[in-house]
């Protein structure tokens, strides 16, 4: 994360298709590593504050439902920090749930960055619903036109079609599920489980970008394999 925070500000001035630089290795000693990580994070925060939320910025996602701006990058960086904090806690044997408000925004951020695509869905069209027990819901539509997400709520009256499968859990568990940190069994599933299995296998980023190598964390399907 520290290496990424050091490189990210170098791509905030303007959009580009290039990945921002080589890894920036940190020190091996624990105390020095913590200081280094804090400095890297501050470096990113300073750059984002200077840029403002609307400045063009490098991003790997398709610009369909999420912009390539410093504001969108900041939003996504918060989710990467949250999920990797969970990873560190898990490694230390003390994994904690993600903060509910962070996770609610994280589910939506994941949908509009990692999932939204114009690459055709290679199976029959399907609707996938996600319900956080805190009261927020999202609908993912998969078809020959690609993948598109909409937010649902109790006042929604224009949602069309019936979901082929739906996942319900706390916002924390839903976000950890879509990021591949929790298995399918960790959420309540209503409908055909095969749709999630197909999402695991689908990787339109690699189809669209060829051999451009990104981690599984950025593959635009939902129930991902862990990094």
Residue 37 belongs to a domain: yes
Residue 64 sits in the same domain as residue 133: no
Q: Quick count: other Cβ atoms within 10 Å of Cβ 177?
A: 23
Residue 22 belongs to a domain: no
Domain count across the chain: 2
Write out the chain's pLDDT in tens, 227 residues. Answer: 544 544 544 444 444 444 455 556 777 788 988 888 888 888 888 988 998 999 998 888 888 899 999 999 999 999 999 999 999 999 999 999 999 999 999 999 999 999 999 999 999 999 999 999 999 999 999 999 999 999 997 555 456 789 999 999 999 999 999 999 999 999 999 999 999 999 878 887 655 544 333 344 444 344 443 33
Residue 69 sits in the same domain as residue 131: no
Q: What is the pTM of this model?
A: 0.79
CA distance 174 to 188: 10
- Report strand pairing: 126-132 vs 165-169: parallel
Tokens of 203: 């990787």
Q: 167: alpha, beta or left, given left = phi > 0 and alpha = psi -120 to 50? A: beta
Tokens of 59: 């991003």
Domain that holds residue 165: 100-227
Give which of 39, 37, 3, 1 is closest to 20, Cα–Cα. 3
Rounded to a whole number of angstroms, the distance between the first and last alpha carbons of the chain is: 13
Q: Which of 96, 126, 141 is the last residue of a domain?
A: 96
């Amino acid at each position: 994360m520290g290496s990424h925070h050091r490189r990210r500000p170098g791509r905030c001035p303007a959009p580009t298709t290039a990945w921002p630089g080589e890894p920036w290795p940190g020190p091996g000693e624990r105390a020095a590593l913590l200081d280094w990580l804090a400095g890297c994070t501050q470096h990113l925060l300073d750059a984002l504050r200077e840029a403002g939320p609307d400045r063009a910025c490098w991003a790997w996602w398709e610009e369909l439902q999420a912009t390539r701006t410093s504001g969108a990058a900041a939003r996504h960086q918060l989710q990467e920090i949250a999920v990797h904090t969970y990873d560190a806690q898990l490694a230390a044997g003390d994994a904690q749930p993600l903060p509910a408000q962070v996770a609610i925004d994280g589910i939506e951020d994941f949908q509009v960055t990692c999932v939204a695509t114009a690459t055709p869905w290679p199976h029959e069209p399907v609707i996938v619903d996600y319900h956080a027990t805190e009261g927020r819901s999202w609908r993912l539509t998969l078809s020959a036109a690609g993948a598109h997400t909409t937010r649902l709520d109790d006042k929604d009256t224009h949602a069309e079609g019936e979901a082929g499968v739906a996942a319900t859990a706390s916002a924390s568990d839903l976000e950890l599920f879509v990021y591949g940190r929790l298995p399918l069994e960790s959420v309540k599933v209503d409908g055909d489980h095969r749709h999630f299995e197909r999402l695991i296998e689908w990787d339109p980023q690699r189809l669209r970008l060829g051999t451009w190598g990104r981690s599984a964390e950025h593959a635009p399907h939902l129930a991902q394999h862990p990094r």
